[in-house]
Chains A and B, each alone.
Chain A
């Protein structure tokens, strides 16, 4: 009898929980900022996915004849770059690179950062002290200086950008997670889980993590935006991905030499970066407003 009641109660909470979750996501639809952000991000994601099937020139194919007048024409809608490669195609294929590298880097950094933050917050004591002090040291570096020193020394590649992002961002993520965990640790349901003799790992993954989710998703959106900027900056500094990959920052760098004559070549990839970063930032802002407790 009591088992049945318990089961009913559990079903009821389950229904309530999914109902609340649906409401949570539905709230985003009513936030104009989040929708504009979602549209901008969605536009580039769709363009990047469809790139191989779209009727585009190859991003590496050179049209030497078009170099006589690299401005937009019927053949090349957005013109060509200084080597005669189709600008539109390079912009869309450039989105593929950045939309893989930035979320991948942030995902790895989130995993490392959340793990460290959870451990520091849950265990406390000397473990917390060591993790926090190490984080402080890395956070004392101006971020871009850290990136430049790391990438200039270990060389630019997707893996190295992921490593650099992880080193630069994980301490910040860890600090946020630790703060959230410290706030949640005193909650009754954590005490209940401890009384049930659940393992610390279970408490971290099942009790704490879902309750930190909202803040961490918002933070991830902001970080993806910031990482896109960083990848752009690295490209602009000449530390971007190796040449065959079209890379927005690198495209701006290549064309700044002819900025006086053909400014559009630098302006277009700049607009591409701004629109994508703006998309993620608006999305983060909309989510934060919608999910505010």
Chain B
């Protein structure tokens, strides 16, 4: 068990290193240099050349990646904060500390000042969506998995497939048209302050609805497949044959076993929601992590992109890990192997 955990932790670290390097390499294709972005469009070529030299931005990719990793781990100070660059970039935490994501050229602020509050906002959005997706998809999945191919199954399946076919921006357009324009009961924008006359909870309704609409159908389909598999097992047949009522069979025997496989699927949805929030946050002008990542990608703000990538990949590998551990706890057969 300890070896398993250690192995997985090592694999997680390796994944994060590889992912951050990949992003670093992809960002090589962005037009415009770090120096140019730090100084703005009106700096002279001499100033840009001076800063490029100062930051050693002409070094090979691997050397610069190593320097970025060194700054992150607190081994070396952030070169952008060196007073001799003349940029006046200051991080109140100091230039050298563990977890230094560097300086955002987009926001002209330390990445750590921006990213965590944005991540908090997104966590509220994704958390609320998750709280609705879990019960909704379990009910839909169990009901349609009870009798495969039955009328109820076909009906619920078509509903689920239809909902998964609606991308977030489309459901955003539909919901805003219905509940903001035609029947104005909700705000169409969610800046999370009550200055516009709408309370903060009312601003969360539509973004959460958009996330739920796109995601719950998929999870319900997964739970349905698992439920069908369980309902075909001999012990269910035995329970039915010995005269138990359908309700008792489902609650007593099927439910717990049918939930083992979807447990992982549900956890992986946390990862999926992080993708989903990019569009949802853009539609509703929600000050979250997804929009920060989008803006940073469009601007080419490598420090922010790298920080956001590391955080998303960390969330992804952690949920996978927790999923596997939970899987082992729920299903004794896997533990034995």
Contacts and interface: CB of A to CB of B under 8 A. Distances in A.
Contacts of B168: 233
B164 interface: yes
Contacts of B188: 259
B117 interface: no
A278 B181 CA distance: 26
A233 B279 contact: yes
Among A150, A263, A282, A285: residue with most chain B CB under 10 A: A263
A259 B154 CA distance: 35
Contacts of B300: 152-153
Contacts of B176: 259, 263
Contacts of A239: 298
Interface in A165-207: none
Nearest to A222: B164
B181 A277 contact: no
Contact of A148 (B27, B158, B278): B278
B48 interface: no
A225 B165 contact: yes
Interface residues of B, number: 52
Given A137-B18, A140-B313, A233-B169, A149 B279 contact: no
Contacts of A141: 19, 309, 312-313, 316
B177 interface: yes
**What DSSP secondary structure best describes chain A's contact surface?**
helix
Given A143-B275, A145-B278, A152-B298, A229 B177 contact: no
Contact of A270 (B19, B174, B278): B174
B177 A144 contact: no
Interface in A254-293: 256, 259-260, 263, 266-267, 270-271, 273-274, 277-278, 281-282, 285, 289
B43 interface: no
B19 A148 contact: no
A284 B283 CA distance: 29
A236 B15 contact: no
Nearest to B176: A259
B261 interface: no
A232 B316 contact: no
Q: How large is the interface on A (under 10, 10 to 19, 20 to 34, 35 or more residues)?
A: 35 or more
B167 A149 contact: no
Interface in A225-266: 225, 229, 232-233, 236-239, 249, 252-253, 256, 259-260, 263, 266
A154 interface: yes
Contact of A273 (B170, B272, B317): B170
Among A133, A144, A239, A273: residue with most chain B CB under 10 A: A144
B166 A256 contact: no
B4 interface: no
A140 B293 contact: no
Nearest to A277: B165
B156 to A, nearest CB: 12
A285 to B, nearest CB: 6
Nearest to A236: B169
Nearest to A36: B158
Contacts of B149: 289
23 contacts: A136-B11, A137-B19, A140-B317, A140-B320, A142-B271, A142-B275, A142-B312, A145-B293, A145-B309, A150-B26, A152-B297, A154-B29, A225-B165, A232-B167, A233-B167, A259-B173, A263-B181, A270-B173, A274-B165, A278-B161, A278-B165, A282-B161, A285-B161
Closest 9 CB pairs of A and B: A144-B275, A270-B170, A152-B297, A278-B165, A142-B275, A277-B165, A263-B177, A229-B167, A236-B169
